[in-house]
Amino acid sequence: MNSIIDRISILTSGMCLALLFGAGIPDSAVAQIQAGGAMDFEAYLRPCPDLLDLTFEVRDISSFGKRDGAVNLSVAGGTPPYRFCWSGAQFNEATEDIHNLAPGMYQVLVTDANNCDATISVDVGGPSVVSSADEGTNAAELAILGIAPNPSADIITIHYSIPGQDNVRLEIHDQLGKVLAVPVSTVQTSGGYRLSFDGRALPAGTYFCRLQTSQGAHSVQFVLMR
């Protein structure tokens, strides 16, 4: 049996605690955990006659800025009915499958009728390179040639090229498309360019670098780690 204590860090709400321990968990125990207090978890442990087996299929987001990722979860073993508690960045859900997801890491705690449980983590990804064809982008002429190092712990170097003199805007976006920084916003002549971006002020996660000119837009995904 998997230890409840090992995974208590993902339990972020009274709902998740109730799912883990079943309807019989005292309200006082929920309040105690939410207040940061200790609790005798071993009192709620019981033998598991059949271990849970979790498998999944992932659909990554289709293009930059979209929230159309999904995870289809399948459960075998254990004793039905099953209860589900998904967690992620500003995300909690109690269904078996989850939809309308942004890129990122999601974790699910599955509990069966005997309060036996299992967890699994799922990474919903985004496209590594995203072009906007309806804006007239020609990836052969307008491109972010590279971001290095990727992943990075702090400073990244961005290489890009433009085919002719143009108004150039280079943006750093989060996974939801919010503009976090604009390293370049000026007129530039044709050729290749190189610049450094300091990501130390941003939390660890997945980001996008977006190059915009009159010819269209082109984006590349990069990761900051701590």
8 A C-beta contact, residue 215 and residue 141? yes
Confidence (pLDDT) at 98: 93
Question: In angstroms, rounded to a whole number, what is the distance separating the alpha carbons of residues 88 and 118?
Answer: 17
- Cα–Cα distance, 155 to 153 (Å, whole number): 7
Output the pLDDT for position 74.
Answer: 93
How many Cβ atoms are within 10 Å of 74's Cβ, its own excluded?
Answer: 11
- pLDDT for residue 106: 83
pLDDT at residue 43 in the model:
54
pLDDT of residue 40: 55
pLDDT digit of tens for each residue in the chain (226 aa)?
343 433 433 343 444 544 444 444 555 655 555 565 555 555 555 567 788 899 989 887 776 567 788 999 999 999 999 999 998 766 788 999 999 887 777 889 999 988 888 888 887 776 544 444 334 444 445 566 678 888 888 999 888 888 888 999 999 998 888 899 999 999 999 888 889 999 999 998 888 898 888 888 888 888 898 7
Buried b / exposed e over 164-181, threshold 16 CB at 10 Å, is eebebbbbbbbbeeeeee
What residue type is assigned to position 11 of the chain?
L
Question: In the prediction, which pLDDT does 9 show?
Answer: 37
pLDDT of residue 11: 41
Phi, psi of 19 (to 5 degrees): -65, -40
Q: Taking Cα atoms as reference points, which of 152, 172, 60 lies closest to residue 106?
A: 60
Domains and CATH numbers, the chain: 5-124 (2.60.40), 129-224 (2.60.40.2550)
Return the sign of the alpha-carbon dihedral for residues 161, 163, 165, 166.
negative
What's residue 65's pLDDT? 62
